[in-house]
Amino acid sequence: MRVTVTGGAGFIGSHLVDRLIRSGHRVQVVDNLVTGLREQIPEAAEWFDGCITAASTAEAVADFAPQRLVHLAAQVDVRISVNEPVHDAMINVAGTVAMLDAAQRGGSLEAAVLASSAAVYGVQRTPLAQEGHPIEPISGYGAAKRAAEVYWAQMGRLHGVRTPALRFANVYGPRQSPKGEAGVIAIFCRRHAAGQALTVFGDGTATRDYLFVYDVVDALWRVADAEDARDVYNLGTGTETSVLELTEHIERISGRAPEVLFEPARTGEVARSALDAQRAEQTFDWRAKTPLAKGLTITYAELTP
């Protein structure tokens, strides 16, 4: 099967590409290496170096004529989305639409999977956010992801393509970049291993639902071929972990206490987040299987050799 993975040189994408290649699929990787790494692209993959907003990239995708599209490429920094909303929307909305349009113009597309985010919910009103939770994003990133979901579903209906979208919790694991706020676990692991202080924004009580990357890849693998998966689905563990609890986990793993510095909370960030993933379990038999302690142990060992 021909599969196009945008952002395939990045954190999540490279793990997915590895699995697709091992399973014998022909894989096109689209990545401009702004955050991705060339060495994470397998030699067996067909790499196109380009931005998802460029006409040349769209033509390359159309020429490849994928049967499956997995769209992971994105601008993921919440701060940039707040300070530069036009730039964020160009990539996360216009770029998303361009990739799905190009893939369907290839003439062979059967299913396209969109990587969305828990950021679409904004301030969480319930202990666990289900897919029916009010959509009230407080950052440009969350607004762009919601707009992308709407386009994704509309274009699927228009062209007769199955277009599920996955709302990720906070994904972590091996290969995660320490650059940018989205990689808090990678930042903490690398800084602690180097003997540097860990910066906590706010009072450290803000919580996130931390989801191991291998579980995300398993979901992408399953949903791409699940004929009944045509909606939007949360991916999460359903467990909240505070930033201060993360530092405690790192202390247990490393055997030494980190130095923690506190800075003011950042604009556009929610105080708490955890996702109910029952719909994903019921539709394509997916559930998160990696406890945080195990995932953090693997991640710390991989990121701090």
Tell me the CATH number of domain 2-170+212-235, given options 3.60.15.10, 3.30.450.20, 3.30.1240.10, 3.40.50.720: 3.40.50.720
3-state secondary structure at position 104: helix
pLDDT, one tens digit per residue, over 242-264 is 999 999 999 999 999 999 999 99
**Whether 141 is catalytic:** yes
| Domain positions in the chain | 2-170+212-235, 172-209+238-274+289-303
Is residue 297 pLDDT above 70, yes or no?
Answer: yes
CB 12 within 8 A of CB 72: yes
Is residue 165 pLDDT above 60, yes or no?
Answer: yes
Q: What is the mean pLDDT of residues 136-145?
A: 94
Q: What is the mean pLDDT of residues 167-176?
A: 95
Pairing of strands 241-242, 207-208: antiparallel
Spatial distance between the Cα atoms of 221 and 203, rounded to a whole number of angstroms: 38
CATH topology of domain 172-209+238-274+289-303: UDP-galactose 4-epimerase; domain 1 (3.90.25)
CB 145 within 8 A of CB 268: no
254-271 burial: b if 16+ Cβ within 10 Å, else e: eeeebeeeeeeeeebbbe
pLDDT, one tens digit per residue, over 44-53 is 999 999 999 9
Longest dimension (CA), the chain: 56
pLDDT above 70 covers a percentage of the chain that reads: 98
Question: Which of 141, 210, 233, 300 is an active site residue?
Answer: 141
Residue 220 is classified by DSSP as: H
pLDDT, one tens digit per residue, over 87-137 is 999 999 999 999 999 999 999 999 999 999 999 999 999 999 999 999 999
- In terms of Cα–Cα distance, which of 49, 162, 37, 52 is closest to 109? 162
Cite the DSSP H helix spans in 128-269. Answer: 140-159, 184-193, 213-225, 243-254
Q: List Cβ neighbours of 22 (8 Å cut-off, separation of 6 or more).
A: none
